[in-house]
Amino acid sequence: MKRVYCLYRVSTKGQVDINGNDIPMQKKSCHEFADKNPDWKIAKEFSEKGVSGFKVSAKDRDAIQELQKAALEGEFDVLLVFMFDRIGRKEDETPFVVEWFVQHGIEVWSVNEGQQRFDNHVDKLLNYIRYWQASGESIKTSIRVKTRMGQIVQEGHFKGGSAPYGYRLERLGRINKKGHEVYDLVIDDIEAAVVRLIFDRHSNAGMGPQTIAAYLTEEGVLNRSGKNFVSPSIRNIVANPMYRGVLRSGETFSEPFEHLRIIEDESFFRSQEFIKQRSQKYQEDRRIPKKTTSNCLLTGNIFCGTCGARLITSTAGKKRLRRDGTYYEKRYWRYICYNHMRHKDQCQGQSGYTSTRVDDAVEQIVYDLLASLKKVPMEKIVGKRHDLEMRDVRLKIAAAEKELKKKTDNLGYLKAEVVKSIRGESSFKPELLSEMISAAEVERESAEKTLLIVTEYGRNSEQVVDSMKAQHDLYISWADVFTSCDFNTKKMIVHQLIDKVIVSEGYKLDVVLSISMKQYMELSEADFALTA
């Protein structure tokens, strides 16, 4: 009797039976096929549930590895599958896996395609072609699925899986093509409150994922499973565009759906800027503090006025003996120029500065800055900014129209040369003209697209105004809370308003505003002192 090992595989969990124990259709067909061969006896069966034969290599599939080990030890004579693509769908791997079994004395059979032999070169070629076709089918299936998933999210529907934290799944009466009622996402008010707290601590207080996780644990806030939040979960939340109502499938993003929005755009994009600035490759240009644990207001964006290096923070202390024999020690934070301390030839300036003296001066400057903004009517700043934006748009439209006319005229000139070339009156050969016309058509199309984009931006002037109002409201909200907010929040407000502080010998300060704040100060026409 020939000992038969069977291999069953499905690519998705949904293809297994209701009990999750078997793969019924493939098993039944293989048993019926084996019964037709009197000298066959099924000795063992292998099932792979939810394993892609296209994405997963044979070396990473336990069933294939066990079958190869059993073949080397002579445990079976026949490998039987429902179809050969159950062994795999990788054109650069699976044909050689099948050939390996045959070379080691194992007959490889398919219920639907018969025995795979390697008696001649034609057999080898057909074996390769079979898996080349299977690989192509997998690629086409992947493209179809990816396209459909993209369409689903663009329509504002949930593509499947578990609901992200902050949402839950509910049946709202939507029916799919098969007539089944499907789930839709809705905001979970309790979890959404936690999401808002996470973004507030990240974008307003500057806390990192690990600090936020510890903060939530201290506050007794647990995740959906009733456990403490961990930093990777926090990191995923603050980077997920879902919370501004944007659905995603691969590289496809939807427009924001307001019924799914938990976080406002300003808070979300502020978090993304913090993530970028704290990344390793952004260290040279970083203006956001790497951590918020320091008790210094300007950690990360205070610089030496002599050598230009970023100042680091350190602590110093004083110790004195009391009358009762005990010691009294007072420690305080300082900003230190590393170049002066370690490489005196590189900096001849002051070695360090007491942080409270610098911080208090900068804090007063920021307070006065925000107070001055509160005195300027929003309509004045927004109106002036809008007028400047629209003037810029008109200039861009005029430039785009000029460029489009130039490309159109050039294309017309080249097409006119075609007739001359046919008559032999042109200095251009027809082949060269054809290439030049193709290139000119591409350039004209690009210029036309640019004009459309600029024109569309001009039409969306209301969105520009809304964005400006939101920015102004943010500054005013900072003005209202600056004196009463916690230290970390105050630190992040300062870092978003100020690009850097340059401190020189004698505690002379030069404050450089961020670009957005500098524009606002220009629009408000405020004459404001930024030195102390």
Task: Specify the CATH number for the domain of residue 35.
Answer: 3.40.50.1390
Q: Does a structural domain hold residue 246? A: yes
Do 146 and 204 lie in a common domain? no
Q: Does a structural domain hold residue 358? A: no
Q: What is the mean pLDDT of each successive set of 10 residues along the chain, which is 532 residues long?
A: 92 56 80 93 90 83 92 94 87 86 92 86 77 71 66 73 90 80 89 94 85 92 93 93 86 82 89 79 59 75 90 83 79 88 83 92 90 77 74 86 90 82 74 80 87 78 70 81 84 86 93 80 62 61
Do 11 and 147 lie in a common domain? yes
Which domain, by its residues, includes 62?
A: 2-151
Task: Name which of 188, 272, 279, 261 is nearest 238 in CA terms.
Answer: 272
pLDDT of 523 reads 66
Answer for the pair 331, 317: CB distance below 8 angstroms, yes or no. Answer: yes
What CATH number is attached to the domain comprising 209?
Answer: 3.90.1750.20
Q: Does a structural domain hold residue 523? A: no
Do 34 and 108 lie in a common domain? yes
Residue at 252: amino acid letter:
T
Do 217 and 142 lie in a common domain? no
Alpha helices in 76-178 (DSSP H): 94-103, 121-154
pLDDT of 18 reads 45
Which of 269, 287, 308 is the last residue in one of the domains?
269
Which of 251, 269, 287 is the last residue in one of the domains?
269
Lateral strand order in the sheet of 352-354: 312-321, 327-336, 352-354
Instruction: For residues 524 and 293, give the distance between their C-alpha atoms in angstroms, rounded to a whole number.
Output: 35
Q: Does a structural domain hold residue 342? A: no
Answer for the pair 260, 188: CB distance below 8 angstroms, yes or no. Answer: no
pLDDT of 529 reads 57
Q: Does a structural domain hold residue 108? A: yes
Q: Helix 265-277 to helix 231-239 angle, to the nearest 10 degrees?
A: 120
Instruction: For residues 485 and 483, give the distance between their C-alpha atoms in angstroms, rounded to a whole number.
Output: 6
Q: Does a structural domain hold residue 19? A: yes
Token digits of residue 105: 């004395």
CA angle 496, 291, 476 (to 5 degrees): 25
Q: Count structural domains, the chain.
A: 2
- What radius of gyration do the chain's Cα atoms show? 34
CA distances from 94 to 58, 108, 142, 423 (A): 8, 13, 19, 60
Residue at 499: amino acid letter:
D
Task: Name which of 154, 171, 184, 188 is nearest 262 in CA terms.
Answer: 188
Do 121 and 28 lie in a common domain? yes
Q: Does a structural domain hold residue 257? A: yes
Whole-model pTM: value is: 0.52
Instruction: For residues 23 and 50, give the distance between their C-alpha atoms in angstroms, rounded to a whole number.
Output: 11
Answer for the pair 462, 422: CB distance below 8 angstroms, yes or no. Answer: no
Instruction: For residues 446 and 51, give the distance between their C-alpha atoms in angstroms, rounded to a whole number.
Output: 44
Token digits of residue 163: 């609901």
Which DSSP symbol is given to 9?
A: E
pLDDT of 286 reads 58
Which of 269, 285, 314 is the last residue in one of the domains?
269
Token digits of residue 417: 């040369």
Do 122 and 225 lie in a common domain? no
Which DSSP symbol is given to 409?
A: H
Answer for the pair 305, 510: CB distance below 8 angstroms, yes or no. Answer: yes
CA distances from 391 to 67, 395, 404, 427 (A): 72, 6, 20, 44
Do 73 and 135 lie in a common domain? yes
245: left (phi over 0), alpha (psi -120 to 50) or beta: left
CA angle 482, 487, 492 (to 5 degrees): 70
Do 239 and 119 lie in a common domain? no
Q: From the CB of residue 19, how many other CB atoms can be counted at a distance below 10 Å?
A: 7
Answer for the pair 246, 253: CB distance below 8 angstroms, yes or no. Answer: yes
Contacts of 270 (CB under 8 A, 6+ apart): 203, 496
The rounded Cα 142 to chain-centroid distance in angstroms is 22
Which DSSP symbol is given to 182?
A: E
Q: Does a structural domain hold residue 321? A: no
pLDDT of 105 reads 93
Do 126 and 245 lie in a common domain? no
Specify the residue for token string 């307003």: 204
Do 134 and 210 lie in a common domain? no
Do 86 and 210 lie in a common domain? no
Strands 107-110 and 114-116: antiparallel
Answer for the pair 311, 289: CB distance below 8 angstroms, yes or no. Answer: no
Contacts of 456 (CB under 8 A, 6+ apart): none
Answer for the pair 306, 348: CB distance below 8 angstroms, yes or no. Answer: yes
Do 9 and 139 lie in a common domain? yes
Instruction: For residues 447 and 162, give the distance between their C-alpha atoms in angstroms, rounded to a whole number.
Output: 44
